[in-house]
Amino acid sequence: MRNIVQLYITDLKRIVTNWAALIIILALIALPSLYAWFNIQASWDPYGNTKGIPVAITNEDAGTQLQGQKVNVGDLIVQSLKKNKKLGWTFVDKKKALDMVKHGDAYASILIPKDFSKKMTSILEENPEKPVITYTVNEKINAIAPKITSTGATGIVQQISEEFIKTVSKTIFSIFNELGIELEKDLPDIKNMKNLIFRLENDIPRINQIVNTALNDINTAGELETKVRNNLPIIKNVANKGVQLTNELSDFINKNKEAVQNIIPIIKGNIDQLRELADTKSQIQSILQNYQNNPDEANAALSEINTRLNRGVVVIDYTTGLLEKLNAQSDQKRLSIFINQLTKLKSDLQSEIALNNQIITSKTVADNVKKRLDDVSNLASSKIADIHANFESQYVPAIRRTMDDGMVVLEGTKKVLTDAQNSMPDVERILQDASKGISTGKQTIVKLKKDLPTVEKKIREIAHRIREFDKKADINEIIRFLKHNVNKESEFLKNPILLKEHKLFPIPNYGSGMTPFFTTLSLWVGAMLLISLLTVEVENDQLKSYQVYFGRLFTFLTIAILQSLIATLGDMYLLHTYVADKPWFVLFGVVNSIIFMVMVYTFVSVFGNVGKALGIVLLVLQISGSGGTFPIQVAPRFFQLINPYLPFTYSISLMREATGGILWDIVQKDVIILSIFLIVSVFIGVTLKKFINQASEKMIKKVKESGLIH
């Protein structure tokens, strides 16, 4: 260990005491930083300074007419581009634009053709055509510029599309707005129409029934009309005879008025017979009081009373029958009250007979039966008294007026039959017209019945569609939608989706984003410079191979650490690159520099000039395979395969964590893998240096004799 430290101290003294060596060492310390700084500064904001990239614009749009107004979309594009500073727009003719692109005076050209406006507005026609913008690019001038100009061309197309969508949608929504207002006005009529459709659908069975009934009725009417027409002579004969008959009846009634008047005494005699039944009330009460003394005698008395009551029922039936015949002759039905009283009296007499029979059969008088019999007999006696008392004052005048009504009816019948006789000619004419009308009506109804299934199907389809529409949408909601703000709706369709960007680990500029890559690359380049200018060998045969390895390694590591400190601190404080965690950025830079130096030093210390070649090859592979510039996923398959095995992959990742914001699990993974590279390199240097150096000693001596390779 002492020899290793002594060798390290000796190297430092030689550097400090030899001004020429000191200058070279200082240059080697600073050069890698310059490499990183120049590249970072050159790529600081490449996409923010595109206004100097020339793009030739040619507008040949002839315009078009739209609803009587001239429209020229090409002119609108040119006006918009003149305000746009994203690229260096140059407005020239077609020939000049092509010449500029060919000779590199413009990276690309955009041609707006003559029919651009016409095709833009063809959306209003039956067969719309998409307009075309011709984009011409010269890709041999620069690899990146065509991508930038292509983005500019795409931006123009997008801008035109947005404005076109905004204009068209504004027009459409204006129409929708007017339609919504009209729909709102007509909403009551729409609802009434909908209800009418539903009512028609519900009434379809009844309509079918009505049509069928109408068809049956008109067939019946036709048959009836035929029968009436065929029987018209008979009807005329009946009418003539009816008039003659009424005349004869009138004479008969006038001749027999006195005979009809005899009905009143007959009815009065019947009422008088009923009056005799009023005393049955007291007789029944007397019988019931002495019933227990001699039941057989009492039953015989009750049987006699029932016989009288049955005769009264017969008298009532005869009287009511007579009165009903008289009452039928008058529309006034004046005798109905009298008939009803007699009918109720009959019911009471029958109830009284039934109770008497119950006593006779049971040979006992129950209290409830006695009470019911008292009530019925009292009620019957009261009704008989009322009928008898009112007969002369009320019922006799009613009977007489009823007979007079019969004469009036007879006279009316006579008049009707006379009028019928006189109307027979008119009836014949009406029947002829009816025959024609029935024939026409039948044809109409038959046609209606034939068309009704089609109408029914259409009504049901419309009703079904209305119900399906009601399930999916509310017309009030549709009206509210149609009446939305036109400008807001068109602006929404112009940009229907807003991108809300959330930068998880924000880095403000492209240069800061590329700092991890260029700084890592400069540290490897710094290690290669040291190996190229400083020797790894020591002219001391007394030292062992591992002592030479570690003694000279510490010298290289000291210079490498200084390279890292200048590079990382310069990034932050000279270029002002964005770094989220500055101390860790410096520390991670030192770690990377140590690992790179150990690896490159080991290559050269063990393999000599072959080791230098290995360092250069590994540098080239790492530039493309580490994912430092483009994502490794877009690189060819070979570089994706070697990516996990390159130290740059983890060194750049480590520097990015400090730049954007540290996730310690990523840092831990990167440090562990880089430590593996370090351990493997040291192991190779300690174990293989002696054997490989001895094996290649003759070859190295022979190479030096050429005078070309040291």
Query: How would you write 565-620 as a 3-class SS string?
Result: HHHHHHHHHCCCCCCCCHHHHHHHHHHHHHHHHHHHHHHHHHHCHHHHHHHHHHHH
CA–CA distance, 201 with 198 (Å, rounded to integer): 5
Structure tokens at 241: 């005879």
Distances (CA, A) of 629 to 49, 314, 429, 662: 19, 132, 111, 20
Q: In terms of DSSP bridges, do strands 108-112 and 54-59 run parallel, antiparallel, or are they unpaired? A: parallel
Q: In terms of DSSP bridges, do strands 64-66 and 134-137 run parallel, antiparallel, or are they unpaired? A: unpaired
Exposed e or buried b for every residue in 654-693, given b needs 16+ CB within 10 A? Answer: bbbbbbbebeeeebeebeebbeebbeebbebbeebbeebb
Residue 567 one-letter amino acid: A
Q: What share of the chain is helix, strand, coil (3-state, %, to 5)?
A: 80, 5, 15
What pLDDT is recorded for position 172?
45
Structure tokens at 303: 């049987």
Q: Which residues contact 11 (CB under 8 A, 6 or more apart)?
A: 551, 552, 555
What pLDDT is recorded for position 110?
87
What pLDDT is recorded for position 164?
47
CA–CA distance, 374 with 353 (Å, rounded to integer): 12
What pLDDT is recorded for position 594?
94
What pLDDT is recorded for position 312?
82
CA 627, 630, 633 angle in degrees (round to 5)? Answer: 70
Structure tokens at 102: 């060919």
Asked if 63 and 545 count as a contact pair (C-beta separation under 8 A), the reply is no
CA–CA distance, 206 with 221 (Å, rounded to integer): 21
Residue 371 one-letter amino acid: K
CA–CA distance, 440 with 446 (Å, rounded to integer): 10
DSSP 137: E
Asked if 431 and 226 count as a contact pair (C-beta separation under 8 A), the reply is no
CA–CA distance, 227 with 217 (Å, rounded to integer): 15
What pLDDT is recorded for position 581?
93
Q: Which residue has the tokens 């009112």?
A: 390
What pLDDT is recorded for position 599?
92
DSSP 451: H
Structure tokens at 521: 């690359």
- What number of CA atoms fall less than 13 Å from residue 524's CA on the CB side? 23
Instruction: Look at residues 44, 81, 16, 38 and name the one whose alpha carbon lies nearest to residue 519.
Output: 38
Residue 270 one-letter amino acid: N
DSSP 663: -
**φ, ψ dihedrals at 111, nearest 5°:** -110, 125
SS3 readout for 26-60:
HHHHHHHHHHHHHHHHHCCCHHHCHHHCEEEEEEC
Instruction: Look at residues 67, 61, 52, 98 and name the one whose alpha carbon lies nearest to residue 79.
Output: 61
What pLDDT is recorded for position 20?
75
CA–CA distance, 579 with 357 (Å, rounded to integer): 129
The whole-model pTM stands at 0.50
What pLDDT is recorded for position 239?
53
Structure tokens at 462: 């419309």
Residue 448 one-letter amino acid: L
How long a stretch of residues is the chain?
A: 710
Local mean pLDDT, 10-residue blocks, the chain (710 residues): 69 73 80 84 69 83 77 80 77 89 83 84 71 80 61 57 51 51 59 65 71 68 62 59 54 51 73 74 76 80 83 84 75 79 85 84 79 81 80 77 65 57 60 61 67 71 68 58 55 56 75 89 89 72 69 85 92 91 94 92 82 86 84 84 92 92 92 94 82 61 55
Q: Which helix (H) or strand (E) holds 89?
A: strand 88-91
Instruction: Cite the DSSP H helix spans in 391-509.
Output: 396-422, 424-472, 475-482, 486-494
What pLDDT is recorded for position 487?
62
Distances (CA, A) of 485 to 154, 171, 292, 481, 489: 30, 12, 108, 9, 6
What pLDDT is recorded for position 647?
94
**φ, ψ dihedrals at 458, nearest 5°:** -65, -45
Q: In terms of DSSP bridges, do strands 54-59 and 88-91 run parallel, antiparallel, or are they unpaired? A: parallel
SS3 readout for 142-177:
CCCHHHHHHHHHHHHHHHHHHHHHHHHHHHHHHHHH
CA–CA distance, 423 with 223 (Å, rounded to integer): 22
> CB atoms < 10 A from the CB of 164, how many?
16
Asked if 688 and 606 count as a contact pair (C-beta separation under 8 A), the reply is yes
Q: Which residues contact 613 (CB under 8 A, 6 or more apart)?
A: none
Q: Which residues contact 593 (CB under 8 A, 6 or more apart)?
A: 523, 526, 527, 560, 561, 563, 564
